[in-house]
Every structure is written in structure tokens, then in C-alpha cells.
Chain A
């Protein structure tokens, strides 16, 4: 793994459009020459002499994720300068992120230009589904990494080159824990949950839900078949994230999708230049 941002050193970024074959871009987001040197030494754990304990103390008072936060701030400025709305979409695996994005891309075609950054540990499967729906998509394979970071998104944005007044959907790696800590430079965080996952997720993963601007509750077409109390879910979500908006929808049947589209349309900057 890269020692700076936590990304896997074998992270691969591939751009797909509906008419192009994949092109592979190097994962390059301005690492200094030191950070990818993981050291040639494979020496065993070293115990320092006791005298080392008397070393000089240097105050740092530095945030551990300062580097990622700096890259995220640069992404945010880059997106703002171009009038682009970026949304960080997070969920557990299998909640329907790709189905949601494929439907959104095809139903909003003509109304809104949408491109997608797909984060997965492996495979191009999700990118191919978005591409089939007519979207322009970059696939990031994080390898061992369990989340996207701001550096990967910077590379992906450079590869996508999204137009002004468009939307970039960042589909994070399916995981309700790690992506919560890494700012990508997005304008909004959306957490997607589904009724098949059980209603206890906001209480089990408070760090993730606390950050959400919007929570989408997906697969509502399956409510008659599962034991899921929407009222309890809603009240638990209020306890963890009182300011988050909750929308119920089914990305499979299309029920409730309009409210999600309205949420996006209200936030897209006007096209410029």
C-alpha cells in the first residue's frame, strides 16, 4: 500500500465511455519521491537502546489525515471552479448502489450530464453496467484498499474530465466503516441503505450515518417480504443524524426515484463557460 494516503500501490484507474475501450491511467496524485519507497530493509523489529527514550520532543499538532484532507480541498476547489456537483455515495455491499446509478444515469439522460467514479477492490463489472446505461465512467480498483481516498479521486477526475454543470457520482467501496473517515472533496455525502439489510444499521454504524446529508432507503418494493420497521429505522436515524434527510425508493421499480432526482437537480450548479 501507498504510505501516504493508504491506497493500495496496485490501485488501477480505468476510464470507460459508451463508445470507448478501457484506457488505463497510472495512479498519480503527486506523491513525493519518498512516500512510495517502502524501504528495502526487511530487518526484524528493532528495539532502541534505553538512552533513546531521552530524545528531543518536537510538537507537531498535525491531523493524521492532513494530506488526504489537503487533496480533498484541492478536489473541492477544482470541482467548484468548473461548476460540477460531486456526490460521495456510500453503503454496504449489495445495497443497490450500481443499480441506483445505472437507473439515474439512463433516466436523467438529456436533463443532466452524469459521470461515475466506481470504487471496487477488483473487477470492471460495475463500470460496465454504468457504461451499458450510457454513462461515462472511471473504474478504480483499490486492490487491498477498503475505501477511496482524495488522491484516487483526483486521478479519476483528471481521467473523466467532466463538463461544467454536470454531476459526478463517486461510488465508494461497499463498506459502512472506512469510507466515513476519508474526505474526497465531494459537495454531499449520500448513504444508501436497503430494507434487506435490517433496520439496525444507523445504530450499528453511527460514524457513517452521522456524516450523511441524505440517506436513501432502497428496495422498498421488498418491504412486504422482509421484517423491516421503517418507522424504527427513521427514528434511529434521527438519533444518529438529526439533520440527514431520508428518502425511500426502489431503484428496481423506479418508485420514489423522482425525489432523489429533485435532490440532485436542486444542487447542480448552473452550467458556465
Chain B
């Protein structure tokens, strides 16, 4: 259920950055390892934006894949599933990308 709080934070952040502006579109990036479920955010978005300057806005979500670096075999790889584990079996891994939860842009009229 943290997607409700996440969506509320998203809407509040946009309103704060662009006070008084009518927002008709929001582009959101939800990384594969961010721990946030895109469908839940979509579900919450219409509820949370009701009565705000974002009401009716189109929500576009991109989900960039995770990129990890294995310190054992010194290669970058895309993990399968939610675990940052190298195909070689090592968990000595640094997550390079895919944890972001970011508003990339908004459309205003």
C-alpha cells in the first residue's frame, strides 16, 4: 500500500514545483528494483489527483531495467527478477541502475 503514499508524494511534488499550473501529463520512471508496483501507482493516480491541478492528467510510466555490477566476475548484468544476483551465483553485487523513482517531466497547458 505504500504506492498510495508514493502517488501522493508524486502529486504534491508536481504541485509544489508548478504552483497554479494545469497539469495534463506526467512522465514517471519506476526502476525495476525500486520496490514500487507501477499498476498500483496507476490505480492510485486518478484517486489522488481528483480535485487537484493534475485531475485528468495522463500518466506515462517507463520502467527502466536494473543494471548491476558483479564484483566477483567483474561484469555488468541485468538481474532476472527482484534479486540482485549475478548469473555466476555471486551476491557480491553493486546496483548501478533500476532503483530510481523519478518524475522525469510534466505537460502543462
- What residues on A are CB-neighbors of B5 within 8 Å? 1, 5-7, 145-147, 149, 178
Q: For the complex, is A242 an interface residue (Cβ under 8 Å from B)?
A: yes
Number of inter-chain CB pairs below 8 Å: 147
Known contacts A46-B55, A180-B35; A4/B12 CB under 8 A: yes
Q: For the complex, is B19 an interface residue (Cβ under 8 Å from A)?
A: yes
| A interface size (C-beta, 8 A) | 53
Question: Which residues of chain B from 94 to 109 have any CB-CB distance to chain A below 8 Å in the complex?
Answer: 100-109
- What residues on B are CB-neighbors of A63 within 8 Å? 100-103
The chain A residue with its CB closest to the CB of B58 is A53
- What residues on A are CB-neighbors of B108 within 8 Å? 55-56, 58
Grouping DSSP codes into helix (H, G, I), strand (E, B) and loop, the A interface class, with mixed when no group exceeds half, is loop
Partner among A1, A55, A147 whose Cβ is within 8 Å of the Cβ of B107: A55
Q: For the complex, is B76 an interface residue (Cβ under 8 Å from A)?
A: no
- What residues on B are CB-neighbors of A240 within 8 Å? 83, 91
A203 to B2, CA, bound (A): 20
Q: For the complex, is A177 an interface residue (Cβ under 8 Å from B)?
A: yes
Contact A65 B82 (CB under 8 A): no
Question: Which residues of chain A from 174 to 227 have any CB-CB distance to chain B below 8 Å in the complex?
Answer: 177-178, 180-182, 203, 206-207, 210
Known contacts A58-B108, A64-B102, A206-B83; A48/B13 CB under 8 A: no
Partner among A45, A57, A177, A180 whose Cβ is within 8 Å of the Cβ of B55: A45
Question: Which residues of chain B from 24 to 63 have any CB-CB distance to chain A below 8 Å in the complex?
Answer: 24-25, 28, 33, 35-36, 46, 48, 50-52, 55-58
Known contacts A6-B6, A64-B6; A43/B50 CB under 8 A: yes
Of the listed residues A43, A147, A181, A207, the one surrounded by the most CB atoms of chain B closer than 10 A to its CB is: A181
0/1 string, B3-33, CB within 8 A of A gives 1: 0111011111111111100001100100001
Known contacts A181-B35, A181-B36, A242-B91; A3/B8 CB under 8 A: yes
Q: Which of A30-38, A108-116, A247-255 interfaces with chain B?
A: A30-38
Grouping DSSP codes into helix (H, G, I), strand (E, B) and loop, the B interface class, with mixed when no group exceeds half, is mixed
Partner among A6, A60, A145, A210 whose Cβ is within 8 Å of the Cβ of B17: A60
Question: Which residues of chain B from 64 to 106 have any CB-CB distance to chain A below 8 Å in the complex?
Answer: 82-85, 91-93, 100-106
A9 to B45, CA, bound (A): 19
Q: For the complex, is A267 an interface residue (Cβ under 8 Å from B)?
A: no
Chain A nearest Cβ from B95, distance in angstroms? 9
- What residues on B are CB-neighbors of A203 within 8 Å? 83
- What residues on B are CB-neighbors of A238 within 8 Å? 91
20 more A-B contacts (CB under 8 A) besides A59-B104, A61-B105, A66-B13?
A3-B11, A5-B9, A6-B8, A7-B5, A34-B16, A35-B12, A35-B15, A39-B50, A45-B50, A48-B57, A55-B109, A58-B105, A58-B107, A60-B105, A61-B102, A147-B2, A207-B35, A239-B83, A240-B83, A240-B91
Task: Give 23 pairs: A residue, B residue, CB < 8 Å, sorted on A.
Answer: A3-B48, A6-B2, A7-B5, A34-B15, A39-B50, A39-B51, A41-B50, A45-B56, A46-B55, A46-B56, A56-B109, A58-B18, A60-B104, A61-B102, A62-B102, A63-B100, A64-B13, A66-B13, A206-B83, A207-B82, A239-B85, A239-B91, A242-B91
